[in-house]
Structure 1
Amino acid sequence: MKGRQISRTAVVWQLLAVMLVVLPHVQWLPLWVPALVVLAIGSRLMIHSGRWSFPHWSVKALLVIASSGGLILSFNHQAGPETMVALLVVGLALKLLEVYHRRDALVVLFVSLFVAATAFLFSESVWIAGYILLTTVLVLAALNSIQQSSSARRFRDNLKSAGRLLLPAIPFMLVLFFLFPRLEPFWSVTIDSGQAKTGLSDELSPGDVSKLAQSDELAFRATFEGEVPLPAQRYWRSLVLSEFDGRRWTRPSHEQRQVLRPEQLQPLVSAQRYEVIMEASGRPWLVALDQPLRAGQGTLMTPVRTLVMDRPLERRRQYPVESVLQYRQQPLLTRQEARHYLQLPAGGNPDSRALAQRLLTQADGNTDGVITLLQAYFNKTFVYTLEPGRLGRDSVDQFLFETREGYCEHFASATAFVLRSAGIPSRIVTGYQGGEWNPYEGYLQVRQYDAHAWVEYWQPEAGWQRLDPTAAVAPERIRTSAQDYFSTNEGFSSAGMGLGIDWLRDLRQRYDAFNYSWHRWVLNYQGQQVQLLDDWLGGEDRWRRLLAWLLPTMLVFGTVGYWLLRPRPTLPRDPMARALMRLQQRFATLESGREPAESLAMWLQRVADDWPKQRALMLRLAFLDDQQRYIERKDPHQQAEMKRLCRILMRQLPRKKR
């Protein structure tokens, strides 16, 4: 039983490994779970120092019962991925209280590796990848430590051994990454870490979009094959809202969707091709430049030409899109469709209804005239602001005739209401407008403060036309990016996040470009891999691909196999003996090697005359060797001095004879 006991150094490694693998999960775990881990580590340190004894079985049973109840209460009886990871963390914490034998330590460290891998369920950033790599090295070092004797205390040697174990895996990883195709996972999980996700909702009421404008979280990135659209053309379509209850705009109900035909699109210019990497939003809708031509693999095109998925977007997604910026869309409406896009509540907002009739009369019933008059009305005294104040029951009336202050959703909602009151079919589109160009990697980055709402109105034969009432009040918001507008407009300083500072903005762009490269070339490498292999191989021939897989694999296997199996000189296990042997090997390369019949002291005294600058160090080392060799009990202080002298001589002596 004594031979199975792990060393005190190994215990410290176990505690360090557990602490590091749990750390990435602290931000979402219930507070009591990290507290339990800290309590377990502290208790094990007290046991390690000899101040406490191992807990009685009754104490451990009580902790298991209490922790099980805490998990049930914290996760509301839901057995999701978060619950399973929390259960593993709790198990690690409790297992620390009985780590004594190698078997217990193996269980802790194997579970630690699994918990470390689960960190990628919650974050895929490059920093997490680097952190988990470091954690893996330390867990391997801890695994190495449990194989040592109880008197071993070699922290540095454990790290070296872990590094040697990981080093051969790097070429294998590169071959698999570049050459072997990525397989779609046969499983998927939905993660709800408790962190709020920002994004567009499926309804619109006053204040919804302006809340997003306060957030600088990344929404998506887009890379274009050809010319990048101008800022005024960057309308990223996401949702179409066409039902109004007097305050909120929502998507059409299931019954209403049955009467809406898939809208026909006639492109007037060539298609714009680009690729979108969209961040997780927890919602199923995607974005595309107005208007997308077709849905890609894994996405659906709705009748109103928006892209959706069959499940919420819980992980970052990369997808190609083709869009046209000039088009004719749905030139004919059926009676049912026209009735749907003219729907208004039976009562409410009487002043706005009267305004619509006045504008219709002044424009002699002309749609373009009504729109021109309404935009002129907005341009007189209205203010574009993030803090318009609360609106009452008749929100459109209060906005148009009292506050006259609002954000894009206020202007879009009022415009659609007035147009419908004037007999003009209309609807609201929500998405994003603009985006900032990142010159370091050549892509467009769109953040939550780029969220926008605009209006589409219908005209016979011309079909649906885009109308952005924000352009009448704050045209700079449309002509430039939201970031530029926020950074120069005092009223939006809170949304600008300090982005008016040039060096801070440049630093942020560089950091974002670095993350973009990681996401595209590591996390979403499938599309780039196919193109890269075609460029390397000069085609998609099956035999070329087979050779491209076999030859590098054989080369890597052969190189790593030789490196692992090649004969090596056997070094003594004792650190002092290893240091002396390395010193003798260095002198042998300088043609001052030790003769078989010479003692270490005699040899050092002989070669000292050839090295006058190192003479004193050599004579001191010879003296200490004599002292240690002929005494019954070794002096640790003299041994430490001998190792220090060996290191100094190794640094000062040349590697080859001059």
Structure 2
Amino acid sequence: MKGGLISRTAVGWQLLVVLLSVLPHMEWLPLWVPALVVSTAGARLMIHSGRWSFPHWSVKTALVIAACMGLILSFNQTAGPETMVALLVVGQALKLLEIYHRRDALVVLFVTLFVTATTFLFNETVWMAAYVFLVVTLVLAAMNSIQQSDHNNLYADHLRNAVRLLFPAIPFMLVLFFLFPRLEPFWSVTLDTGQAQTGLSDELSPGDVSKLAQSSALAFRASFSGPVPPPEQRYWRMLVLSEFDGRRWTRPALQVRRQLRTEKLYPLVEGQNYEVIMEASGRPWLPALDQPMKAEAGFFMTPVRTLRASQAVDRRLQYRLQSVPLYRLQPLLTAQEEQRYLQLPARGNSDSRELARQLVADSGGDTSRVIRQLMELFNREFIYTLEPGRLGRDSVDQFLFEAKQGYCEHFASATVFVLRSAGIPARVVTGYQGGEWNPYEGYLQVRQYDAHAWVEYWTPGSGWQRLDPTAAVAPERIRSSAQEYFRAYENRFAGAVSRLGAGWLRDLAQRYDAFNYAWHRWVLNYEGQQADLLRDWLGGGEQWRQVLAWIVPSAMVFGGLAWYLMRPRRASPRDPLERVLQRLQQRLSVLGNERLPAESLSMWLRRSADDWPRQKGMLLKLALLDDRLRYAEQADPEQRGEMIHLSRQLLRELPRGKRHES
């Protein structure tokens, strides 16, 4: 390669791997960044073909300034991982405009490897692992292409060399993967993509949960060590909201939460063990089956018995819990606690307050009768819908006496308001309800459309008890999965959900999800599995055993590689033309047309042509091209390519065995 310049094939490889490395980031990158990558790749192609010249330094400076301003505006001046990855992609794209020497091409390929590695920050599926492996292989082929001479323009040869380079590294990679201990990261990153902001909010106002009900994004998966709870017991609590300002339900202020005492749980049956793999939500609270008994190490149980992580869940998280379906929770409340759960604004929603007084009068102050009458009212006169319309200032009054239709948060909010007005302590609980069973790996998959809100009310001696007013209006929503209910509810709503709902396509979707679930469990559990594996293999955890387990496989791998690289083997020409001509000579020799020691290639080809009438024209043309190539002042790459093509065509048409004399 003269002067360190790069060939047409090398440019093609570079453009291919740059585009492939950016492809997985398309779903979250600002639209202008992929457009910049495609534009600079096209410009680089035009420059290399000679139609355009390299841009002036002022043009490149303007592009750099514009790209920096675009990053600042797109990411709101935050310096998170997304911004850093986007900066890498932009730098990779702009560098395409000045690839002239081998050094420039290497810089682009090194940045491409970094961009490819960042894919795992956003996607950890097995398919993405296979995709990244493919891209790394192609990057090695691109690196190989820029080290080759100008006339070596065969993509297949570069790819073959990349595989040869990568193959010896696989055994050592397996030794490192299975035997090298996992270290805690010295740093961590927090992702803030839109994909990680699909969970429940820490407040509730009409319409919040129904927005999630239109999303089929996966929230979490759960597998059980024993019997799976029936659908009507699959309440996944995440937040308890007790403060009401007339429209919104929120958690108490931070200083109030710090003063709360932990509510006591008295299990009435044996606990049930299960495992949850939660998707990134960008929020710290975690789903727990009602009621969780204790938190796993590294997590926290709040005073109102909801589970939370130490920081926002910005990547897939796995944890184990034990819960009980029958219990008594906090059978005694202090006067201050009781007053907190009776809190209401001084004014507003007067008709609802009057309804509460009427229910108390009709029931004689009996809590169970008040609740029964309210649920009968819901069942008689109300409709469950995802499109209830907007509510005014006195939202509870408008819902109970005008709209009479709504989603779970409307019913939960109105129920708590009426119960508190009736002197019954109550609070709103948000989380998820239900989940669809996947039979292929035996787990529940809970999606965002399973988001739900319900009520807990308190009675002396019995403590907090769950009440779901949605069950009084639409009991089929509780007994079946949300997916099944919405599919039956309205065909036009189902969208992506309904497309997975029928026949073989739904079965295929479940199989795919089961495969991903098994992969995620294996990856997330590997650290613990690795320790067990080493103990089983080594017969103990002593340090000398671990050192021996590391040295012996490493020695075997390096010994095998040394034998493979140093073993005697027949020299093979590196030039692709010489290699294919050597194969053609071997084939014709087997067929009886051996080349004489003093015979030139063109003379031998012309002599052999007389014995092969059908291939005579190709053999004579190959001889003529050889004469031209050998006596030309400068090698013609197109002529070399034509000779390679003719030789390969002859190899396909000539017999493989010995020729039989007639």
TM-score, reference length from structure 2: 0.89
Residue 302 of structure 1, CA deviation: 0.5
Aligned residue pair count:
648
Report if aligned partners of 1:604, 1:619 keep a CA contact under 8 Å in 2. Answer: no
Residue 66 of structure 1, CA deviation: 3.2
- Deviation per CA, 1:263-288: give whole Å up to 9, x if none: 11122222211111101111110111
| Partner of residue 441, structure 1 | 441
Instruction: Say if 1:206 and 1:17 are closer, same or farther in 2 by CA, change over 3 A.
Output: same
Report if aligned partners of 1:235, 1:433 keep a CA contact under 8 Å in 2. Answer: yes
1:171-210 equivalent positions in 2, closer than 5 A? 171-195=171-195, 197-210=197-210
Residue 620 of structure 1, CA deviation: 7.3
Report if aligned partners of 1:576, 1:643 keep a CA contact under 8 Å in 2. Answer: no
Report if aligned partners of 1:216, 1:497 keep a CA contact under 8 Å in 2. Answer: no
Separation in 2, partners of 1:389, 1:630: 85
- Deviation per CA, 1:469-506: give whole Å up to 9, x if none: 11112222212222222223338843753444222221
Residue 601 of structure 1, CA deviation: 9.5
Separation in 2, partners of 1:53, 1:448: 52
1:3-152 equivalent positions in 2, closer than 5 A? 3-152=3-152
| Partner of residue 505, structure 1 | 506
Residue 336 of structure 1, CA deviation: 1.0
- Deviation per CA, 1:563-615: give whole Å up to 9, x if none: 33333321113334322434566789x89896985868999999999xxxx96
Separation in 2, partners of 1:369, 1:176: 66
Residue 201 of structure 1, CA deviation: 0.8
Q: Which deviates the most, 162-171 or 555-564?
A: 555-564
Q: Which amino acid aligns with 2:648?
A: K
- Deviation per CA, 1:278-336: give whole Å up to 9, x if none: 01111110111111121123211100111112221111111111212222211111111
Report if aligned partners of 2:416, 2:427 keep a CA contact under 8 Å in 1. Answer: yes
Q: Which amino acid aligns with 2:156?
A: R
Q: Which deviates the most, 243-252 or 45-54?
A: 45-54
Separation in 1, partners of 2:493, 2:98: 56
What secondary structure is seen at the aligned counterpart in 2 of 1:569? coil
Q: Which deviates the most, 234-243 or 192-201?
A: 192-201
Q: Which amino acid aligns with 2:86?
A: A
Q: Which amino acid aligns with 2:573?
A: P
Residue 556 of structure 1, CA deviation: 3.1
**Is the counterpart of residue 336 in structure 1 residue 341 in structure 2?**
no
Separation in 2, partners of 1:433, 1:100: 60
Instruction: Say if 1:493 and 1:97 are closer, same or farther in 2 by CA, change over 3 A.
Output: closer
Q: Which amino acid aligns with 1:645?
A: L
Q: Which amino acid aligns with 1:556?
A: V
Report if aligned partners of 1:263, 1:304 keep a CA contact under 8 Å in 2. Answer: yes
Residue 628 of structure 1, CA deviation: 6.1
Instruction: Say if 1:220 and 1:638 are closer, same or farther in 2 by CA, change over 3 A.
Output: closer
What secondary structure is seen at the aligned counterpart in 2 of 1:393? coil
Instruction: Say if 1:201 and 1:633 are closer, same or farther in 2 by CA, change over 3 A.
Output: same
1:214-613 equivalent positions in 2, closer than 5 A? 214-490=214-490, 493-494=493-494, 496-522=497-523, 525-533=526-534, 547-582=548-583
Residue 534 of structure 1, CA deviation: 5.3
Q: Which deviates the most, 404-413 or 573-582?
A: 573-582
Q: Which deviates the most, 384-393 or 517-526?
A: 517-526
Separation in 2, partners of 1:259, 1:207: 31
Instruction: Say if 1:237 and 1:564 are closer, same or farther in 2 by CA, change over 3 A.
Output: farther
Residue 144 of structure 1, CA deviation: 0.8
| Partner of residue 647, structure 2 | 642
| Partner of residue 635, structure 2 | none
Q: Which amino acid aligns with 2:159?
A: L
Instruction: Say if 1:361 and 1:25 are closer, same or farther in 2 by CA, change over 3 A.
Output: same
Q: Which amino acid aligns with 2:253?
A: S
Q: Which amino acid aligns with 1:642?
A: S
Instruction: Say if 1:474 and 1:192 are closer, same or farther in 2 by CA, change over 3 A.
Output: same
Q: Which deviates the most, 427-436 or 504-513?
A: 504-513
Instruction: Say if 1:110 and 1:464 are closer, same or farther in 2 by CA, change over 3 A.
Output: same
Separation in 2, partners of 1:284, 1:200: 10
Residue 88 of structure 1, CA deviation: 2.1
Separation in 1, partners of 2:437, 2:539: 33
Instruction: Say if 1:569 and 1:448 are closer, same or farther in 2 by CA, change over 3 A.
Output: same
Q: Which amino acid aligns with 1:567?
A: P
What secondary structure is seen at the aligned counterpart in 2 of 1:392? coil
Report if aligned partners of 2:152, 2:576 keep a CA contact under 8 Å in 1. Answer: no
What secondary structure is seen at the aligned counterpart in 2 of 1:368? helix
- Deviation per CA, 1:13-43: give whole Å up to 9, x if none: 2222222223333333333333333332222
Residue 117 of structure 1, CA deviation: 1.4
Separation in 1, partners of 2:379, 2:72: 58
Report if aligned partners of 2:238, 2:306 keep a CA contact under 8 Å in 1. Answer: yes
Residue 509 of structure 1, CA deviation: 0.8
Report if aligned partners of 1:385, 1:491 keep a CA contact under 8 Å in 2. Answer: no
Residue 531 of structure 1, CA deviation: 4.7
Q: Which deviates the most, 573-582 or 147-156?
A: 573-582
Instruction: Say if 1:425 and 1:630 are closer, same or farther in 2 by CA, change over 3 A.
Output: closer
What secondary structure is seen at the aligned counterpart in 1 of 2:285? coil
Separation in 2, partners of 1:594, 1:484: 75
Q: Which amino acid aligns with 1:504?
A: L
What secondary structure is seen at the aligned counterpart in 2 of 1:445? strand
Residue 405 of structure 1, CA deviation: 1.0
What secondary structure is seen at the aligned counterpart in 1 of 2:294? coil
Separation in 2, partners of 1:401, 1:65: 59
Report if aligned partners of 1:408, 1:452 keep a CA contact under 8 Å in 2. Answer: yes
Separation in 2, partners of 1:536, 1:479: 48
Instruction: Say if 1:561 and 1:234 are closer, same or farther in 2 by CA, change over 3 A.
Output: farther
Report if aligned partners of 1:235, 1:289 keep a CA contact under 8 Å in 2. Answer: yes
Instruction: Say if 1:42 and 1:604 are closer, same or farther in 2 by CA, change over 3 A.
Output: closer
What secondary structure is seen at the aligned counterpart in 1 of 2:53? coil
What secondary structure is seen at the aligned counterpart in 2 of 1:509? helix
- Deviation per CA, 1:513-560: give whole Å up to 9, x if none: 122122222355334444555566676566665555444443333333
Q: Which amino acid aligns with 1:129?
A: A
Residue 157 of structure 1, CA deviation: 0.8
Separation in 2, partners of 1:276, 1:639: 59
Separation in 2, partners of 1:11, 1:422: 77
Q: Which deviates the most, 421-430 or 475-484?
A: 475-484
Q: Which deviates the most, 50-59 or 219-228?
A: 50-59
Instruction: Say if 1:561 and 1:328 are closer, same or farther in 2 by CA, change over 3 A.
Output: farther
Instruction: Say if 1:402 and 1:630 are closer, same or farther in 2 by CA, change over 3 A.
Output: closer
Residue 234 of structure 1, CA deviation: 1.0
What secondary structure is seen at the aligned counterpart in 1 of 2:223? strand
Separation in 2, partners of 1:25, 1:564: 39
Instruction: Say if 1:320 and 1:546 are closer, same or farther in 2 by CA, change over 3 A.
Output: farther
Report if aligned partners of 1:617, 1:645 keep a CA contact under 8 Å in 2. Answer: no
| Partner of residue 162, structure 1 | 162
Separation in 2, partners of 1:605, 1:46: 42
Q: Which amino acid aligns with 1:463?
A: G
Report if aligned partners of 1:483, 1:499 keep a CA contact under 8 Å in 2. Answer: no
Instruction: Say if 1:255 and 1:192 are closer, same or farther in 2 by CA, change over 3 A.
Output: closer
Instruction: Say if 1:393 and 1:528 are closer, same or farther in 2 by CA, change over 3 A.
Output: farther
Q: Which deviates the most, 303-312 or 629-638?
A: 629-638
Q: Which deviates the most, 640-649 or 196-205?
A: 640-649
What secondary structure is seen at the aligned counterpart in 1 of 2:458? strand
Separation in 2, partners of 1:42, 1:50: 13
Report if aligned partners of 1:263, 1:303 keep a CA contact under 8 Å in 2. Answer: yes
